[in-house]
A = this chain, B = another copy of it.
Amino acid sequence: MAPFRVTLADVARRAGVSRTTASFVLSGRTDMRISPDAQRRVHEAAAELGYRPNQTARSLRTHVTRTIGLISDTIATTQFAGEVIHGALDTALERDYLLLVAETSGDPVAEKKLVDEMLDRQVDAVVYAMMYTKPGHPPGSLSGLPVVVLNGIEESFGGPRILPDELGGGRTAARALVDAGHRDGIYAIGGRHRTPEAPDGVYAGRLRMQGVDEVLADAGTSIAGAYECAWEPEHGYDGMLSLLDDGHRPKALVCLNDRLALGAYQAMQERGLRVPDDVSVVSFDDSDLASWLRPALTSVALPHYELGKTAVATLLDGTSERRLVAVPMPLRSRDSIRMVPATAG
């Protein structure tokens, strides 16, 4: 069943040296005085036999598996996890690491089991990822192992936390509107997303809105109105209709994510409003949806891939003393914002 594998002993035999010597040569230890000739013979034998060290055996001795655990609460929903895994894997593979991937589905029992399984396999380090910014911290059994938290906003966790720069993202979104000349009639849909657990609003909502407010203030204006609601398409639809029914006439819309923008598009289409001619729209996340909508949506991207890369890099470099790493959220400009003549302040 298991394919035949060349061992170090095979290499040593063919090179006419001991296993010890072969090991020294192949692990590049210069402190052990091996003649150039013997080195050459070992390297040749290894190349000819296509030798690759058995990582399991090596791990037993060295306690290093070159394997990182990636634990997330949810893999399935949205493309988030896919891109995070992709980024994490690329960075891991650059350094000959591999990823054990698992998800807890938010279930502590499942989490315990899967953390135990990872510990049994001696993972070197763990990325503990949450699919959106929220409280949460790795279980105690992971203490003693290098861990970074991705998207965790619980400050009690002592290790590095990797987060999207939501504040900067909010600024970027507002700047996109301001740069296009918008000053009046700028509305927000979604807002801070207050929930029973987060009465001040969800982390991303708070910071995005704060960034928007700052930039608008700098431009000598402010939000004309905000519709506070949850962040699914139906709420965007309801929110836009509600604004219009209340007599508001938005000229620009900040949708707190792309799904809300989809809902708002649907509502505007029903009411005969055209994007961007009547209403400019800027949004967040840059999901697939953004490029599918007509007109395509200008959106401030969640840097999933970069988050994954940064998480693994932070683990493997280890030198970073930073406890909080904010990853920039870049603007993806498309067709949903119209240039308008700037109005005098």
Question: What residue in chain B is nearest A67 (Cβ atoms)?
Answer: B121
**Which of A53-61, A201-209, A212-220, A325-333 forms part of the interface with chain B?**
A53-61
CB-based contact A294/B65 at 8 Å: no
A103 at the interface (CB under 8 A from B): yes
Cα(A86)–Cα(B78), bound, Å: 13
**A59: B residues at CB distance < 8 A:** 56
Chain A count of residues within 8 A CB distance of the other chain: 60
Decide if A102 is an interface residue (CB 8 Å cutoff).
yes
With known contacts A53-B120, A57-B60, A121-B67, A86–B99 Cβ distance under 8 A: no
Interchain nearest-CB distance for A54 vs B (Å): 7
On whether the beta carbons of B101 and A85 are closer than 8 Å, the reply is: yes
Q: Which of A32-40, A111-119, A176-184 contacts B (4 or more CB under 8 A)?
A: A111-119
What residue in chain B is nearest A144 (Cβ atoms)? B3
| Cβ-defined contact, A120 with B52, below 8 A | yes
Known contacts A55-B120, A121-B55, A292-B259; is-contact A82 B86 (Cβ 8 Å): no
Q: Check if A101 sits within 8 Å of B119, measured CB to CB.
A: no
Interface string of A224-256 (1 = CB under 8 A from B): 000000000100010000000000000000000
Would you give the 0/1 interface string for A63-106, flagging 1 where the beta carbon is closer than 8 Å to chain B?
10101001000011111011101100100010010111111000
Q: Which residues of B contact A98 (CB under 8 A)?
A: 100, 102, 114, 117-118, 121
Docked Cα-Cα span, A101 to B332, in Å, equals 29
A269 at interface, CB cutoff 8 A: yes
Residue A21 CB within 8 A of the other chain: no
Distance in angstroms between the alpha carbons of A103 and B57 in the assembled complex: 25
User: Counting CB contacts under 8 A, is A122 at the interface?
Assistant: yes
A→B interface (CB under 8 Å): 1-4, 52-57, 59-60, 63, 65, 67, 70, 75-79, 81-83, 85-86, 89, 93, 96, 98-103, 110, 113-114, 116-122, 143-146, 233, 237, 259, 262, 266, 269, 288-289, 292, 294, 305
6 further A-B contacts with Cβ under 8 Å, apart from A67-B121, A77-B79, A93-B114, are A3-B145, A52-B119, A56-B122, A89-B101, A93-B113, A289-B289
